[in-house]
Amino acid sequence: MSKQIVIPFGPQHPVLPEPIHLDLVMEDERVVEALPSIGYVHRGLEKLVEKRDFRDFVYIAERICGICSFIHGMTYCHAVEGVMDLPVPPRANYLRTVWSELSRLHSHLLWLGLMADAMGFESLFMQSWRLREHVLDDMEETTGNRVIQGSCKVGGVRRDISDAKLREIADGLEELRPQLEDLRDVFVRDSSVRHRLGGLGTLTEQQAWELGAVGPVLRACGVANDIRQTGYAAYDELDFTPAVETAGDCWARTAVRAEELFTSIDLIQQAAEKIPEGPIEVKVTGNPKGEFYARSEQPRGEVIHYVKANGTKNLVRFRVRTPTFSNIAPLVVSMKGIELADVPVVVLSIDPCIGCAER
């Protein structure tokens, strides 16, 4: 048996946008074990709920993450609305769905760019981020902001999108489709990408399910699990099939995300056609009392916002379980046996968001 050594990886590393530390137990070039450590960016956001009015807290919930900010805000609103049994107007649910899918589009394009960069495929990185700008422009035009949208509120949404603008967004995405197809084809079919990502960081279907993997990491192992199937927001009125791959490796995770770009476009186009007329919010009276788990499908996978309230304006408990937190254990298992040079790519393949995970 070769001598084992421990190599520290992170928290600062060129491929990591955020800090996570891994103690890699190595035998020669092979990883025998990986021990993750987090805690570098813990902000204690959950604790703030004890001091902020539950209506205002949506602003903080949105700031848990700079990429899936809208979905964090929406899921928090779902949780409070679940406790209060608030009937959110159908139009607001459709608008939430549109902004959620725009979030998924720009998040996936961001990640695809990062993965291309990690592989050293710079032109592919630039193409991904160039196309992402189109989506961010849609976000800015409809909410006023690119990153923190601030458009969701307890009881509905703050802004409407006109039907004409929705059609314009849907048409714009249709024009973008051929370019995204070209991009997907490179990620899915290019021999150098397949060679770099194929067979790396593999999980079986059973491992992924039992370890609690979520989102594209789980779907890349052949499990068609997508929380949008539970029918929150307007998803129960729209048709879609989760993108699934079966290889369970880094390439499969990439392929799932690339395919989900088109699912998002289809959902936005369906929403633009079906969105009903009507109000975009209901008046919120009184304070919440009870508890509720709200689950949504973020670009990285299932997110949970749990709230517990005692009838006052401050919630008793707010707990967020982000997809990255749930994907840490699968990541650790998937790293066993890989080579040191592959570690950055495998870590990136779960689309880690440490700011989210630590809150």
Partner 1 sequence: MRREEQPIEVIEIGSLVDRAAQKKVEGNRLVAISCAAVEGKYEVTYSFEERDHRFTNLRVVVEPGGTVPSVTPVYWGAFVYENEIHDLFGLDVTGINVDYGGHFFDTKVKHPFALTPATRPPEKTEET
Nearest in space to 218 (alpha carbons), one of 329, 71, 82: 329
Residue number with CB closer to partner 1 (234 or 272): 234
Sole window of 102-110, 219-227, 250-258, 274-282 interacting with partner 1 (rule: CB under 8 A): 219-227
Question: Is the CB of residue 212 less than 8 Å from the CB of residue 326?
Answer: yes
Q: Confirm or reject binding of residue 37 to partner 1 (CB under 8 A).
A: yes
Sole window of 121-129, 186-194, 268-276, 329-337 interacting with partner 1 (rule: CB under 8 A): 329-337
Nearest in space to 220 (alpha carbons), one of 195, 186, 252, 257: 252
Question: Is the CB of residue 47 less than 8 Å from the CB of residue 134?
Answer: no
Residue number with CB closer to partner 1 (34 or 265): 34
Question: Segment 112-171, which members bind partner 1 (CB under 8 A)?
Answer: none
Q: How far is the CB of 119 from partner 1 (least distance, A)?
A: 28
Residue given tokens 């998937």 in the structure block = 334
On the CB side of 82, CA atoms within 13 Å amount to: 18
Q: How far is the CB of 206 from partner 1 (least distance, A)?
A: 10
Site map for partner 1, 73-92, x if CB under 8 A? Answer: ---------x-----x----
Site map for partner 1, 279-308, x if CB under 8 A? Answer: ------------xxx-x------x-x-x-x
Compute CA distances 138 → 62, 278, 294, whole Å: 18, 22, 27
Q: Confirm or reject binding of residue 225 to partner 1 (CB under 8 A).
A: yes
Q: Confirm or reject binding of residue 212 to partner 1 (CB under 8 A).
A: yes
Identified binder of partner 1 from the candidate list 99, 111, 232, 251, rule CB under 8 A: 232
Those residues with Cβ within 8 angstroms of residue 107's Cβ, 6 or more apart along the chain or in another chain:
67, 68, 298, 299, 300, 351
- Asked whether the bond before 11 is cis by omega within 30 degrees of 0, the reply is yes
271: amino acid identity, one letter: A
Residue 109 corresponds to which tokens in the numbers above?
């394009």
Residue 270 corresponds to which tokens in the numbers above?
């369906």
Residue number with CB closer to partner 1 (299 or 301): 301
Q: Name residue 297's beta-bridge partners.
A: 302
Binding site for partner 1 (CB under 8 A): 35, 37-39, 42, 44, 46-47, 82, 88, 93, 209-212, 223, 225, 227, 229-234, 236, 291-293, 295, 302, 304, 306, 308, 316-317, 319, 321, 325-326, 328-330, 333, 358
